[in-house]
Amino acid sequence: MKKLNKIIITKAQLKELIDWAQKCYPNEAPAILVGKINTSNNLGIVENVYTLKNVVESPVKFQIDPEEQYRIYRIAEENNQEIIGIFHSHPMSPIPSAIDLPFLKLHQNIWVILSTTQDIDNLKAYQWAEDELNKVEIEIIE
């Protein structure tokens, strides 16, 4: 995936992710973010949010059922959409953990992390691109 500078997500989509994270707490809550990528602006626009079960039910890592992940990828392809990124919650600060980093490097799409314990500055996005970890701006719209 090309390096992106920003993703756009709606308030309703963000509320769905926050609600999912709270429901799964203290375990990590994964989701797949699907939409369109504007390569001329290095921008990802989230159109659909798919919340998924963390099959390992862990507060320090998550795993999505491969069949569920494949199903979401097929839906995206059938709708001419792309995988914008992977969302998951952390019961700590919203930075990639040592467990997250190898997967960030492997997939190179956006990883959006929500802290379920911080009230301020609790949502961050990252992408592994050009051999380094890059912060990605998140724009929240109506």
Q: Going by C-beta distance under 8 Å and a sequence separation of 6 or more, which residues neighbour residue 119? A: none
- Catalytic residue chosen out of the listed positions 16, 28, 139, 142: 28
Residue type, 117: T
Closest CA to 49 of 103, 25, 19, 13: 13
Q: Which residue has the tokens 């990528």?
A: 37
- Cβ 28 vs Cβ 62: under 8 Å: yes
Is 82 designated active site?
Answer: no
Query: Which region holds residue 21: left if phi is over 0, alpha if psi is between -120 and 50, else beta?
Result: alpha
The residues that are catalytic are 28
